[in-house]
C-alpha cells in the first residue's frame, strides 16, 4: 500500500449528502478481476450522458476542477454496499484524500486499506471549505496526516481526529496481513483453545 | 458481575490479541464469499505467496450475476463468466466448498448461510457484502467487509476490529395485521435515518421482534446496514433453535441439546449497557412504501409524497428535491395513486419461503394488472424454490402472471439480465432504492412481499390491510 503522509492538491466539491457506493461505482463495473482501472467509471451515472459523453453539469467535468486530488463531500459519504471497488475507483481517478463530516463505516475502513485518507471535520468547517472552494478558482488544500491538519494558502488551519493505529498504518503503508502473521502463535493458540468447526451433520441436496 | 450485552459477550469470546489503544484481533468463525468481492483477494494471496488458512470455515456461492433463467445456455456475459471461472478455480485450489450456479444448494449468500445451518448463534460471521448483517438474526455477530479484509480473513482467519458502539432498538407491542417485518424495519429506518446507527451494532428487541419468525428477524437484521449499522442482532430463543434443528450443518441429537444450552447464554444480560436506546411503538406502524432514493425516504401507505419545502435541514431538503426529480414524483401525490410498471419479489431481504407464501396468499386466484409489464419472483435459494414448488406456490405465481425464476440476486442489483429499464417504476421487496440500483434511471419503491403482490394485482400501491386475505404467518 502507498503510504500517506502529506498531500497538497486541487479540491473538488461534491455537494450531496448520503452519496452511496452505487453512485460511486455502479454495479456494471464490478465484474472485473483486477483492482486497477476503475477511475474512468467513478460516479459513472452522474458523470456521463448517454454514449459516455461527459455531462457538462457534473462537477467533476468542469474544467476548473480538472486534476483535482482532494474530494470535498457531505455527510454519510460512501453508504451502501461494501464494494471495495468504490475506494479503488476514488484512488484510480486520482484522489488521495476525502474530506467530509461523516462516512459510512465500511467505506471509511476500506479507504485506509488503499492509502486514501478520509478526513472527518465538523459540519461548520466543511461548510467553510465549500464556501472557499466555490469562491476561488484553483483552490487547493494541504492535508497533513502527521500533524493532523488541513490548511490552505490563506492561513486556514483545521485539525482533525484520527485513530492512532490507523494513522500509523497509513503513514507507513503497512500491509495488514504481514502485521497479523506476526501474531501467528496467538492465532494458533486461540484455535487450540476454541476449536471452531463447520462440520456437516446432515446431507446436502445433491445433483 | 457486570451485565453484558450480546455484542460484548461475542466480542469477548473472540479476541485473539489485544493491546490498549489499538483495534483487537478477533477470530472469524465463518467466512462467506461470492464471485464479486473475492477475485482480487485471491489474486492478492497468490501474489504474496500466501495460503487460505481455514478452507473448512469458508463457504462460497455464485449469486450476484447468475442468470435466473435457463442456466444451461452458454453465458453471454463474458466478463461475468470470467468471474465465475475465477471463483471455481480459487475454491478448487484452496479446497473451499462452493455452491456453483448448477448446485441444488445454490442461492443468495445471506439466504443459504442460515438455510443450511452454517449460520449459528454466538459465531462471528463475515462476508464481502454489506448485507451480512442478516445473519445477526440468529444472535451471531455478522458484518460486511471489503475485499482487502476478505484477503485478510482468507490468510489469517482473523480481522483487526475496533469495538463498535451498541444501540438497542425496542419495537414494543404487537404489529397489526398486514404489517410485516419489512414494514417494521422500513419504519425504523424512516425514524432514525440512513446514518442513524453509523458506528453502532444494533440489537433489536421487544414484543414485535420476539413475535417474528426467523425469516422476519432476518428481514429486519438484513436492513440494519441501511440505517448505517455495523451489524444487527436478535437474541436467540426457542424460535431460533427450532429453525436450526435438522439443518445440514447443525449438530444432531445430544450434541444439538448441548449446543442449545450454549446458545442460550448468548443473549444480553438484563440491565446490560447500550450506548443508545430507541423505542418504537410497533402497534402504530402501517405498511410502508419508499418514495425517494434511500430507504429512509419512506411513508405510510396511507400517506403522501412529502413536500421538500417542509424539510428544515437544507441538506435533507436538497436531497429530497433531487430524489423527487429522479423518481418523477410530485409533492403531495398520494402513495396509493402511484402506479407501477414492474414488480420484483426477491433478494436477501424477502425471498425466503415465508415471503413467497405471503405473496402467494395475496395472489391466489387473482391476476397481475394489464398495465404491469413484468412481475418477477426470484426465490432466495434453489432449496427454497424446490420447497415452494412442493407446496404448489409456483403454480399460484404463474397463474397470476408472474415469472418463476431460479435463485440469485437478480433485479435487486441488476447485474444479470434482470434490469429495471430507465424511467420505469418498480415495486420491489429488496433493500436499496438508490439511484440506478436496479438499472440506470430505474425507479424503485421498497415494500413488503404482501404489498408488492397487492401492487401487482392493482397496478398501483394499495393498503393491504383493506384486503380480505389471510396473512397467516
Ligand atoms: S440480494 Fe441484493 S442486497 Fe442481497 S446480496 Fe444480492 S445484491 Fe446484495
ipTM score assigned to the predicted complex: 0.94
What are the chain B neighbours of A186 within 8 Å (beta carbons)? Answer: 16-17, 25
Confidence (pLDDT) at B473: 47
Complete DSSP assignment for A70-105: EEE--TTBTBS---THHHHHHHHHT--EEEES-B-H
Confidence (pLDDT) at B267: 98
**CB contact A52 to B (< 8 Å):** no
**CB contact B182 to A (< 8 Å):** no
**CB contact A155 to B (< 8 Å):** no
- Residue B460's Cα: distance from chain center in Å? 25
- Mark yes or no for CB contact A204/B434 under 8 Å: no
Whether the Cβ atoms of residue B40 and residue A37 lie closer than 8 Å to each other: no
Cα B252 to averaged position of ligand 1 atoms, centre (Å): 31
Cell of B230: 455495523
Chain A closest CA to B306's CA: distance in Å?
18
Confidence (pLDDT) at B471: 58
Q: A13 pairs with which residues across the strands?
A: A72
Question: Out of B25, B145, B440, whose CB is closest to A82?
Answer: B145
End-to-end Cα spacing for chain A: 44
Chain B closest CA to A142's CA: distance in Å?
26
- Mark yes or no for CB contact B198/A76 under 8 Å: yes
Confidence (pLDDT) at B403: 98
Helix (H) or strand (E) holding B445: strand B443-446
What are the chain B neighbours of A165 within 8 Å (beta carbons)? Answer: 21-23, 160
pLDDT in tens, A124-177: 999 999 999 999 999 999 999 999 999 999 999 999 999 999 999 999 998 889
Separation between Cα atoms, residue B401 and residue B193, nearest integer Å: 36
Whether ligand 1 lies within 6 angstroms of the CB of B410 is answered as: no
Regions of chain B where pLDDT drops below 50: 472-473
Question: Out of B27, B65, B315, whose CB is closest to A74?
Answer: B315
- Mark yes or no for CB contact B195/A75 under 8 Å: yes
Question: Out of A180, A183, A206, whose CB is closest to B152?
Answer: A180
pLDDT in tens, B7-38: 999 999 999 999 888 899 999 999 999 999 99
Q: Which residues contact B39 (CB under 8 A, 6 or more apart)?
A: A33, B83, B86, B87, B90
pLDDT in tens, A102-132: 999 999 999 999 999 999 999 999 999 999 9
Q: CA triplet A54, A56, A61: central angle to 5 degrees?
A: 70
Confidence (pLDDT) at B27: 98
Whether ligand 1 lies within 6 angstroms of the CB of B418 is answered as: no
Whether ligand 1 lies within 6 angstroms of the CB of B9 is answered as: no
Cα B409 to averaged position of ligand 1 atoms, centre (Å): 5
Confidence (pLDDT) at B338: 98
Whether ligand 1 lies within 6 angstroms of the CB of B108 is answered as: yes
Q: CA triplet A35, A112, A119: central angle to 5 degrees?
A: 125
Q: b vs e for B414-452, b when ≥16 Cβ sit within 10 Å of the residue's Cβ?
A: bbbebbbeeebbbbbbbbbbbbbbbbbebbbbbbbbbbb
* E strand residue ranges, B305-409: 342-345, 374-377, 403-404
Confidence (pLDDT) at B470: 62
**CB contact B338 to A (< 8 Å):** no
Amino acid at each position: 500500500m502507498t503510504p500517506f503522509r502529506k498531500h497538497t492538491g486541487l479540491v473538488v466539491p461534491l455537494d450531496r449528502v448520503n452519496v452511496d457506493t452505487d453512485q460511486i461505482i455502479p454495479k456494471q463495473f464490478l465484474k472485473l478481476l483486477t483492482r486497477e482501472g476503475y477511475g474512468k467509471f467513478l460516479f459513472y451515472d452522474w458523470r456521463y450522458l448517454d454514449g459516455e459523453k461527459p455531462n457538462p453539469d457534473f462537477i467533476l467535468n468542469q474544467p476548473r476542477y480538472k486534476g483535482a486530488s482532494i474530494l470535498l463531500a457531505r455527510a454519510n459519504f460512501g453508504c451502501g454496499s461494501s464494494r471495495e471497488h468504490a475506494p479503488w475507483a476514488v484512488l484510480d481517478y486520482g484522489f488521495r484524500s476525502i474530506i467530509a463530516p461523516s462516512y459510512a463505516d465500511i467505506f471509511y475502513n476500506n479507504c485506509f486499506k488503499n492509502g486514501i485518507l478520509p478526513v472527518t471535520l465538523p459540519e461548520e468547517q466543511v461548510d467553510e471549505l465549500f464556501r472557499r472552494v466555490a469562491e476561488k478558482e484553483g483552490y487547493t488544500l494541504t492535508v497533513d496526516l502527521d500533524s493532523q491538519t488541513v490548511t490552505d494558502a490563506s492561513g486556514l488551519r483545521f485539525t482533525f481526529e484520527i485513530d492512532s493505529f490507523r494513522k500509523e498504518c497509513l503513514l507507513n503503508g503497512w500491509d495488514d496481513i504481514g502485521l497479523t502473521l506476526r501474531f501467528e502463535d496467538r492465532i494458533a493458540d486461540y484455535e487450540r483453545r476454541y476449536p471452531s468447526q463447520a462440520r456437516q451433520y446432515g446431507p446436502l441436496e445433491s445433483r | 458481575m457486570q451485565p453484558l450485552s450480546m455484542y460484548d459477550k461475542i466480542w469477548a469470546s473472540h479476541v485473539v490479541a489485544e493491546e490498549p489503544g489499538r483495534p483487537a484481533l478477533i477470530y472469524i468463525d465463518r467466512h462467506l464469499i461470492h464471485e464479486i468481492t473475492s477475485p482480487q483477494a485471491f489474486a492478492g494471496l497468490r501474489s504474496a505467496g500466501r495460503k487460505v488458512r481455514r478452507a473448512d470455515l469458508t463457504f462460497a456461492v455464485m449469486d450476484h450475476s447468475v442468470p435466473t433463467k435457463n442456466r444451461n445456455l452458454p453465458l453471454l456475459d463474458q466478463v461475468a463468466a470470467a468471474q465465475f471461472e475465477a471463483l471455481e478455480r480459487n475454491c478448487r485450489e484452496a479446497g473451499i466448498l462452493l455452491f456453483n450456479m448448477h448446485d441444488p444448494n445454490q442461492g443468495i449468500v445471506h439466504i443459504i448461510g442460515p438455510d443450511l445451518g452454517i449460520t449459528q448463534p454466538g459465531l462471528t460471521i463475515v462476508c464481502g457484502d454489506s448485507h451480512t448483517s442478516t445473519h445477526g438474526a440468529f444472535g451471531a455477530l455478522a458484518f460486511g467487509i471489503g475485499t482487502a479484509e476478505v484477503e485478510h480473513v482468507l490468510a489469517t482467519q482473523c480481522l483487526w476490529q475496533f469495538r463498535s458502539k451498541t444501540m438497542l432498538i425496542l419495537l414494543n407491542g404487537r404489529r397489526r395485521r398486514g404489517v410485516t417485518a419489512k414494514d417494521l424495519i422500513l419504519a425504523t429506518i424512516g425514524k432514525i435515518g440512513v446514518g442513524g446507527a453509523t458506528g453502532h451494532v444494533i440489537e433489536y428487541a421487544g414484543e414485535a421482534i420476539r413475535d417474528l419468525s426467523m425469516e422476519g428477524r432476518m428481514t429486519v437484521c438484513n436492513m440494519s446496514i441501511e440505517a448505517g449499522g455495523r451489524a444487527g442482532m436478535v437474541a436467540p430463543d426457542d424460535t431460533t433453535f427450532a429453525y436450526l434443528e435438522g439443518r445440514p450443518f447443525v449438530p444432531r441429537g445430544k450434541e444439538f441439546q448441548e449446543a442449545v444450552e450454549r446458545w442460550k447464554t448468548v443473549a444480553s444480560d438484563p440491565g446490560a449497557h447500550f450506548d443508545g436506546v430507541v423505542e418504537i411503538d410497533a402497534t402504530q406502524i402501517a405498511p410502508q412504501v419508499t418514495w425517494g432514493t434511500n430507504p429512509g425516504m419512506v411513508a405510510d401507505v396511507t400517506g403522501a409524497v412529502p413536500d421538500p419545502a417542509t424539510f428544515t435541514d437544507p441538506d435533507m431538503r436538497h436531497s429530497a428535491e433531487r430524489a423527487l426529480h429522479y423518481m418523477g414524483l410530485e409533492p403531495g401525490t398520494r402513495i396509493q395513486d402511484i402506479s407501477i410498471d414492474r414488480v420484483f419479489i426477491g433478494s436477501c431481504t424477502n425471498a425466503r419461503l415465508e415471503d413467497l407464501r405471503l405473496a402467494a396468499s395475496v395472489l391466489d386466484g387473482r391476476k397481475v394488472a394489464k398495465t404491469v409489464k413484468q412481475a418477477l419472483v426470484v426465490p432466495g435459494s434453489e432449496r427454497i424454490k424446490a420447497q415452494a414448488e412442493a407446496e404448489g406456490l409456483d403454480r399460484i405465481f404463474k397463474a397470476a402472471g408472474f415469472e418463476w425464476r431460479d435463485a440469485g440476486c437478480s433485479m435487486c442489483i441488476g447485474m444479470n439480465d434482470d434490469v429495471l429499464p430507465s424511467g420505469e417504476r418498480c415495486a420491489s421487496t429488496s433493500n436499496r432504492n438508490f439511484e440506478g440500483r436496479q438499472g440506470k434511471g430505474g425507479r424503485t419503491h421498497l415494500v413488503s412481499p404482501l404489498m408488492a403482490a397487492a401492487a401487482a394485482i392493482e397496478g398501483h400501491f394499495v393498503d393491504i390491510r383493506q384486503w380480505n386475505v389471510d396473512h397467516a404467518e
